[in-house]
Amino acid sequence: MSNNLKIAILGTGNMGGALLGGILKAGVVSKDDVIATVKTEEKANTLRDKYGCTVLSGGNRTAAQQASVIVLATKPHIVPKVVDEIRDTLRPDQILVSLAAALPLSVIEKRLPHPMPVFRAMPNIPVVVEEGAIAICSNTQAQPEHQILVDRIFRAVGVVCTVEEDMMDAVTALSGSGPAYVYMVIEAFIAGGVKMGLSREISTRLAEQTVLGAAKHVRQSLAHPAVLRDEVTTPGGTTIVAIHELERHGLRSMLISAIETATKHAKERSQVLARKLDQA
């Protein structure tokens, strides 16, 4: 644990709360070295009771002043307002990390009083079970030591990858929205099991563990998924019959198209948001 690391999470809702819980659980910082903010006193009380750290309602400037790493975790359209609010408290040695989906780094950089390291992180919802997929990009002020620190924070809630900013829309489409696609797959597995006479409970356990186990096998074997698929496909067996059916309905092509379409949508949304906030 770094002695100087102090983290402020400005906007501790679903995502900020998951990050707060994860970094405390992993011991990235102690509860004395993290300060969270929210909008309402009611939410502040709930978080204080849950995590035992300092939680302020409306205290963004106080929190930012005390931190070495400031995480911007409000909804995207609020982030520029929060940056404007804390602007004159910012020091060049601090690190800013935005979680705001679709919000380009340039929107934040334009509002800063001086150059400083700024990161943009795209987490996904499994951060709530510390199994998130988190992609991170940064501005030109960010140095390797800043990257190491930011990686450490996010490793508390999942797996971290570094990408260039122009890949963030693809990240949004793949891992950001990806849990929704996998939930649909699990839902359909359950329905298939139920249709064939398995109880809903047993179908659910088998479906969720099949997805979890297959993902773990891909990771630990380091093999291409197609190799693993071939290994379980007996000639003339049940699996090849099902695979043929999936191919007939274009499973892989459908998922590739979904990610392509979602990437285009994310890019357009990002451009619209940047234009709107730049004019504000």
Binding mask 103-122 for ligand NAP (x = CB under 6 A): -------------------x
CA distance between the termini of the chain:
40
Residue at 192: amino acid letter: G
Which region, left, alpha or beta, applies to residue 74 given φ > 0 means left and ψ of -120 to 50 means alpha?
Answer: beta
> Shortest approach of ligand NAP to residue 166 CB, angstroms?
18
Q: Are 273 and 76 in contact (CB under 8 A)?
A: yes
The backbone torsions φ and ψ at residue 250, rounded to the nearest 5 degrees and listed phi first, read: 70, 40
Instruction: Indicate which single residue of 40, 140, 199, 257 sits in contact with ligand NAP (rule: CB under 6 A).
Output: 40
Q: Determine the interface stretch with ligand NAP among 10-18, 26-34, 236-244, 265-273 (rule: CB under 6 A).
A: 10-18
- Gyration radius from the chain CA atoms: 21
Q: Which stretch binds ligand NAP (CB under 6 A): 36-44, 138-146, 155-163, 220-228?
A: 36-44
Binding residues for ligand NAP, how many (CB under 6 A)? 27
When asked if residue 76 is in the footprint of ligand NAP (CB under 6 A), the reply is: yes
Report in angstroms how near the CB of residue 20 gets to ligand NAP at its nearest: 11
Q: Is 48 helix (H, G, I), strand (E, B) or coil?
A: helix
Q: x/- contact string, 45-74, with ligand NAP (CB under 6 A)?
A: ---------------x------------xx
d(C-alpha 104, C-alpha 98), whole Å: 9
Closer to ligand NAP at the Cβ: 11 or 117?
11
